[in-house]
Amino acid sequence: MDVFDYIVVGAGSAGCVVANRLSENPNHRVLLLEAGPEDKSPLIHIPFGIIGLIKEGKYNWGYNTESQQSLGGRSLYWPRGKTLGGSSSINAMVYIRGHPQDYDEWSEMGNKGWDWESVKTIFKAHENNEVMKGPLHGCDGELNVTNVRDPNPMSGVFVDACVEMGYPRNNDFNGVSQYGVGPYQVTQKDGRRFSSARAFLNPVKKRVNLTILTDAQVRKVLIEDGKAVGIEYQIDEKIITVNVSKEVVLCGGAINSPHLLMLSGVGDKYHLQDHGIECKKHLPGVGKNLMDHLDMTVMVKDLSSRSIGISMASLGRNIVEIFRYFTKRRGMLSSNASEAGAFLSVSNDNSRPDIQLHFLPSFIRDHGRKLTYGHGCTVHVCQLRPKSKGDIFLSSGEPLDAPKMNPNYLSDPEDIEVLLKGVKVARGIFKTKAFSSSNGGEDAPGKAVVSDEALREDIRQRSETIYHPAGTCKMGIDDMAVVDPTLKVYGVKGLRVADASIMPTLLGGNTNAPSMMIGEKVARYILETEFS
CB 287 within 8 A of CB 300: no
298 has which bridge partners?
Answer: 379
Q: Where are the alpha helices (DSSP H) in 172-281?
A: 196, 253-263, 269-274
Instruction: Please provide residue 69's backbone torsions phi and psi, each rounded to the nearest 5 degrees.
Output: -60, -40
- Catalytic residue positions, numbered: 468
SS3 content of the chain, % helix, strand, coil (to 5): 30, 25, 45
Quote the CA–CA distance of 54 and 40 in Å, as a whole number.
Answer: 16
Left (φ > 0), alpha (ψ -120 to 50) or beta: where does 508 sit?
A: beta
Run of H or E including 416 = helix 413-430
Q: If DSSP codes are grouped into helix, strand and coil, which group holds residue 354? A: coil
Burial of 445 (0-12, 13-18, 19+ CB in 10 A): buried
Strand pairing report for 217-224 and 227-235: antiparallel
CB 443 within 8 A of CB 300: yes
Distance of alpha carbon 162 from the chain centroid: 26
- Terminal CA-CA length for the chain: 30
Quote the CA–CA distance of 71 and 277 in Å, as a whole number.
Answer: 33
CB 449 within 8 A of CB 455: yes
Quote the CA–CA distance of 2 and 4 in Å, as a whole number.
Answer: 7
Quote the CA–CA distance of 358 and 356 in Å, as a whole number.
Answer: 7
CB 259 within 8 A of CB 253: no
